[in-house]
Amino acid sequence: MLSRLRSIWTIPDLRNKVLFTIGMLLLVRVAAFVPVPGVPAASISSLLSQNQGLQQFFGLLDVFSGGSFSSFSIIAIGVYPYITASIVVQLLQGIIPKLGAWSREGEIGRNRLSQLTRYITVPLALLQAFGQMAIISQLDPTLASNFNLLDKTKVVPTLGTMISLTAGTMFLVWLGELITENGIGNGISLIIFANIMVKVPQEIGSQLISSGSTGSGIDNGAILTFVGSLILYLAMTFVMVYVYQAQRRIPVQYPTKRRIGSGVRGGQETTYIPLQVNSSGMIPLIFASSILLLPVVIANFLTYSTNTTLRNWFSNVRVFLDSTNWWYWVFYGGLVFLFTFFYAIVVWDQQNTADNLQKQGAFIPGIRPGLRTDEYLRKVLYRITFGGAIFLGIVAVAPALLTQNANNSNNVLQAASLLIIVGVVLDTIKQLEAQMVMRNYSGFLS
């Protein structure tokens, strides 16, 4: 392994790609220390530490931004609006025929879809910046005095905050695309990966060091908990790698023509369709957590509402769905299971695999082309997705089985983060493998 790592630096263009990627990721971390003008970062950090519901709501965002939200830098909302826009564009491809046609036009169509994703990212980032500042300003009077889009005396600082956060998001998207084009790996995924890894030492320190009446020090109970958590996450990582690479290969035969002497004879070439067990990645985790956190958002908005009945109802729902309760994790695991099926079916419908096989004259041995092929592939997809859905549901609730304290709201973030880390590392290794094989070097996996 070490010799293969050293061989990367012997290839000039591959070495430049790796150095370029590292340089762009360092630039992301530099941007994390650029504050938003006019917003006291200390007030937001203190507010997050004191309000459990707010910490639960903004925890995923803080992880994806590498702690930039708690320090409220210009990249505080990270690339989350771009991820949302990408999911929206992907889902719309099955609804709007024009977008579906673009997805089948090759490189030109992909460029058009990427441009549309950027256009959608801007209003989503503005909306997310406004919503987050509205929630925070309701809980902090010092921020409320400077944030109000309907007050003409506060419009300029309000727009300044929203534009700064939106510009930070688009800056990250630009860096991510530069990494994808000139570096190694998917740029957006690598930025999220780097932001997650930045918080790992802080998380380890917060678990090992506890403050008591005699001061700060290492807690023996915390060490045992940390060791148990480490064993759990190592086991989860092993299972994630196994499931991430697991696939059901459906054999397919394509007609071919071969020239033999002066004549041409027909033949068949056998290949396969790889159906992934986990084709949804961590998207079901995001969907499920967003649904369960919606009552928290509404309850925070209705804190000062004059409608007592509505305020009390949402407050009770928020208490019922508190992450310290076991039924929260039951609902969460069930939603992850359902959204895994939903996303897998949506993506499958967009691919039109059975129709494409029939147009190419290909067929699955023993299965008639057309409708029968589609029914067979869907049956296989449902079966393997059932296993993938159970896997994601267990991954989502597994951290809660180890620790039962007030910080359980962060365990879902660790589960989602672990999925991202595993996926990004495997994809990056595969790209390095492909680059080295092209240059007649043995890769990491060979």
Six token digits for residue 142: 């010092």
Please indicate, yes or no, whether residues 181 and 287 belong to a single structural domain of this protein. Answer: no
- 127-176, pLDDT tens digit by residue? 888 877 777 777 666 665 667 666 677 778 788 888 988 999 999 999 99
Same domain flag for 391 and 271: yes
Give Cα separations from 284 to 49, 165, 290, 410 (angstroms): 27, 26, 10, 17
Same structural domain for residues 245 and 192? no
Task: Judge whether 72 lies within some domain.
Answer: yes
The predicted-structure confidence for 263-322, as pLDDT tens digits, reads as follows: 555 567 778 888 888 877 777 877 777 677 666 666 666 655 566 777 677 677 767 766
pLDDT for 106 equals: 74
Query: Higher confidence at residue 29 or residue 326?
Result: 29
Residue 172 shares a structural domain with residue 259 = no
Q: What distance in Å separates the CA atoms of residue 117 and residue 86, rounded to the nearest whole number?
A: 6
C-alpha 445/C-alpha 71 separation (Å) is 40
**In 140-277, which residue ranges form alpha helices assigned H by DSSP?**
141-144, 155-182, 187-208, 220-245
Distance CA 244, CA 279 (A): 8
CATH code where residue 100 lies? 1.10.3370.10
85-138 pLDDT per residue, tens: 888 888 787 778 888 788 777 778 888 888 999 999 999 888 888 877 777 777
Same domain membership, residue 413 and residue 368: yes
- From CA 1, how far away is CA 105, in angstroms rounded? 40
188 and 54 belong to one structural domain: yes
Q: What's the average model confidence in pLDDT over 240-245?
A: 82
What secondary structure does DSSP assign to 355-384, as a single string? HHHHHTT-B-TTS-TTHHHHHHHHHHHHHH
Measured CA to CA, the distance from residue 411 to residue 56 in angstroms comes to: 10
The larger pLDDT score, comparing residue 61 to residue 163, is at: 163
pLDDT at 166: 92
- Could you tell me the residue range of the domain that residue 442 belongs to? 236-446
Is the pLDDT score of 445 beyond 70? no
Looking at the domain assignment, is residue 206 inside a domain?
no
Q: Do residues 300 and 441 both lie within one domain?
A: yes
pLDDT bracket for residue 211 (50, 70, 90): very low
List, in sequence order, every residue forming a beta bridge with 211; answer none if it has no partner.
Answer: 216
Query: Does residue 63 belong to any structural domain of this protein?
Result: yes
Give the CA distances from residue 79 to residues 43, 125, 180, 193, 272, in Å, rounded to whole numbers and listed in that order.
23, 9, 15, 12, 35
Report the DSSP beta bridge partners of residue 272.
Answer: 251
Q: Is residue 228 part of a domain?
A: no
Say if residue 284 is in the same domain as residue 159: no
In a domain? residue 3? no
Return the structure tokens found at 366. 């023993």
